[in-house]
Amino acid sequence: MTFEVNFDGLVGPTHQFSGLSEGNLASLASRGRVSDPRAAALQGLSKMRRLMRLGLKQAVLPPHERPDVETLRRLGFPGSDAAVVEAAARADPLLLANASSASSMWTANAATVSPSADCADGRVHLTPANLAAKLHRSIEAGFTTRALRTIFADAGRFVVHDPVPAGGAMGDEGAANHMRLAPGHDAPGVEVFVYGRSAFESGEGGRRFAPRQAKEASQAVARLHGLDPSRALFLRQARAAVDAGAFHNDVVAVANGRLLLAHELAFEDGAAAFEAIARACPFEIGFAIARETQVPLAEAVASYLFNSQLVARPGAGGAMSLILPENVKGCAASLAFAEDLAASGGPIDELVFVDLRESMWNGGGPACLRLRVPLTAGELRALGGRVVLDEALLQRLEEWVRRRYRDRLSAADLGDPLLLEESRAALDELTALLDLGSIYPFQRG
């Protein structure tokens, strides 16, 4: 038996709104807002509980240590850890904000995952994303790789590759630009890689936002994972979608099993792209496509309708639930489209709304917060640490958040050395809760 395991990122203690992500409209609009890290983390854990109650396997990935003192040292700030933070706050608050970002919470960008059913060597392959497009995210790859190699440590079952080289425009944004269609989690599937441009083409004039994913990075991941070339498809993001604020494909498309849910303007080739997906699949698939006349692209991006989690409930005969952000309720066209889906008699028969306001204000919906990893029963047992949740562990994590996290954080607070001390104390306790050992730099000396 193969399970869908959703690895959600635990929101870190330095969750903040500094507007660091150009191309992400919600992030830019929230710049300067005072954040509530405690509420953000509890909202994420509440979503995980909802998935567990649907019968799915739910796991967590730990937040990164922030502020990243070593990055600040490399940028020329000397002295003790506290002195580095204080000096950065005085000299360049924006650099400090980048080094303090809690963006690792969006684990759809942590890596690209291919299940063992798709890979030539019969192992699960994971390639951490280099996230080269943004400074605050580019510093994540090293720790993400260490964390994944701690959890997926059994070399007989798992391969965690190094990130794809990040030079030039060779950006890799992970699973946020990757989808999989298959008859079931245990059957060979077709993996769809969505890119924004070639790493070697000249920039396009007149663009509102630059695309982040390189075609060559997607192709490299497919090769590293040993995918059958006939079952790996490469599609270009629509320029209109990127310029509308769909900085990742998962803002306009999501797939699971035999179903693809997408906006009609998701891909540059339009209808031809959907036809290519159908041809690539040697099994029957279905499409749920929102037309521009039904859900305008601008509303789709604002509501995060397509950044929902599409999950098949175990034991429900293929019936699916769509896990949507509460924002959809405030967008009439998006809500009507979702309600019509659930009433249509198709595989989606349940809508589940979750409150993720703190994440949404920074441009991350339900799908952003999870990395989907199909695992066989043996692979699930082979995971390192204690990262698969049960109700008891979930309650301990909630209690940990309530004790360790601040309920108010402003840009000025990032320069407080006490925040670094508080964060490290929280993470030190977390590694014991999750049985991950000394994985953080401050723990390793």
Torsion of CA 40, 127, 112, 389, to 10 degrees: -50
CA–CA dist 382, 305 (Å, integer): 35
Q: Bridge partners of 3?
A: 375
Q: What single string gives the DSSP state of each residue in 348-413?
A: EEEEEEE--HHHHTTT--TTTTEEEEEEEHHHHHT--SS-B--HHHHHHHHHHHHHH--S-B-GGG
Neighbours of 321 (CB within 10 A): 24
- Whether 173 is a known active-site residue: answer yes
Pull the structure tokens for residue 32. Answer: 């300067």
Whether the CB-CB separation of 410 and 31 falls below 8 Å is answered with: no
Please, is 150 exposed, middle or buried when counting C-beta atoms within 10 Å of its C-beta (0-12, 13-18, 19+)? buried
Does 161 participate in catalysis according to the annotation?
no
Asked whether 14 and 405 are in contact (CB, 8 A), the reply is: no
Contact 247, 23 (CB under 8 A): yes
Interatomic CA distance for residues 242 and 251, integer angstroms: 10
- Which of 178, 248, 299, 358 is an active site residue? 248
Question: 270, 266, 182: which is closest to 228 by C-alpha?
Answer: 182
Residue 243 CB contacts under 8 Å (≥ 6 apart), including other chains? 207, 208, 209
The dihedral built from the CA positions of residue 297, 299, 303 and 309, taken in this order, carries a sign that is negative
Q: Which of 119, 281, 331, 368 is catalytic?
A: 368
Tell me whether residue 331 is one of the annotated catalytic residues: no
Residue whose tokens read 């049985």: 435
Lookup: tokens for 319: 């019936």
Instruction: Tell me how far apart the alpha carbons of residues 2 and 200 are, in angstroms, rounded to a whole number.
Output: 39
CA-closest candidate to residue 55, choices 1, 112, 126, 117:
1
Instruction: State the catalytic residue, choosing from 173, 264, 268, 299.
Output: 173
Give the amino acid at 72.
L
- Give the C-alpha separation, 358 to 364, whole Å: 9
Question: Which phi and psi (to 5°) does residue 215 adopt?
Answer: -55, -40
Coil, helix or strand at residue 4: strand
User: Under a CB-based contact definition with an 8 Å cutoff, are residues 60 and 435 in contact?
Assistant: no
Catalytic residue list = 173, 248, 368
